[in-house]
Amino acid sequence: MKKRALLSGITGMDGANLTEFLLDKDYEVFGIKRRTSGPGFGNAIHLLDKVTLIDGDLLDQSSLNAAVKISRPDEIFHLGAQSHVGTSFKQPSYTMECTGHGTLRFLEAMREFAPQARFYNASSSEMFAGVTGGPYNERSPHESKSPYASSKEYGFLTTKNYRESYNMHASSGILFNHSAKNRGPEFATRKITKAAARIKLGLQDKLIMGNIDTFRDEGHSKDYVEAMWLMLQQDKPDDYVIATGETHSIREMIDLVFSHLDLNYQDYFEVNPEFFRPAEVNVLLGDSSKARSVLGWQPKYTWKTLLIEMVENDLLLEAKQHGL
């Protein structure tokens, strides 16, 4: 009999990539989709005939209860969130309700209607943002520097509480930065690759960014969704840092992408102070030794192969869209 998986955030980058991963492993996949006035299928549009979508919302307990009852999941992957740090400063209450309390609501639905299931919670390296030093592992202290990070901290602690209080198989993956060719254009890596492709094709003049001298540990979404799955295959639930273990500045990433297209980024780059965070995070570097040892996880992509894959894909997308 096929395993059944229920995903929140199925229309996002990780959601779509995890769905493909699970389908390759012959899972029956159910996805929670928030009702909108438009289609709103996002990155999952090519998967519609392969999954079952259930209307639901992380702000609404009854809809999450229904989704769990309908899907009868063996495994639950909770990826849904308001996931943009910059937006969280503009919409702090919504971010906490969706990203923080949404995790609580999902755990309650599982506790009530599928207590035997295994639960994965997508946590974030932003929880370490205010801590000096690094690399950060599962024992490192947390200090949030954004409403998004605070909401992820709430979800992380709530998942741990339900694991310990109700003996639930509930694990959190503390994921460092990761991207893929289906990354949203509002995120730094995709903003860079999309702009570089458009500049190369003569469709755009400038790449406008905020602080590019921050350093990030950047991996590939396909590597990271495999780590999510591995966590739920363990006999005991636990929390794991998922990271590449190396860090590079946004400036380095821009230089790599533009150089790949035989462009000098300095000819096309502009800083806009409006894009700076109210509380800047200078360096995030992860130590995933535990995941590598316990889960047997290893990243297959480097930051260079990731960014080159992304910009080559954006070249194809932009050229096709504009008939070039």
124, 125, 150, 288: which one is catalytic? 124
**Residue 143 annotated to the active site:** no
Q: What are phi and psi of 119, to 5 degrees?
A: -120, 130
**Residue 93 annotated to the active site:** no
Residue 315 Cα to chain centre, angstroms: 23
Q: How far apart are CA 48 and CA 30, in angstroms?
A: 10
Question: How many beta carbons lie within 10 A of that of residue 84, not counting itself?
Answer: 16
**Residue 148 annotated to the active site:** yes
Gyration radius of the chain over CA positions: 19
126, 218, 226, 318: which one is catalytic? 126
**CB of 151 closer than 8 Å to CB of 96:** yes
Contacts for 52 with CB less than 8 Å, ≥ 6 apart: 28, 29, 30, 31, 71
Question: How many beta carbons lie within 10 A of that of residue 45, not counting itself?
Answer: 11
Partners of 219 in the β-ladder = 178
Q: Got the DSSP string for 108-125?
A: HHHHHH-TTSEEEEEEEG
Length, in residues, of the chain: 324
> Which of 239, 61, 66, 36 has the alpha carbon at shortest distance from 152?
239
**CB of 94 closer than 8 Å to CB of 58:** no
148, 154, 224, 301: which one is catalytic? 148
Contacts for 34 with CB less than 8 Å, ≥ 6 apart: 40, 55, 56, 57, 58
The residues annotated with a catalytic role in the active site are 124, 126, 148
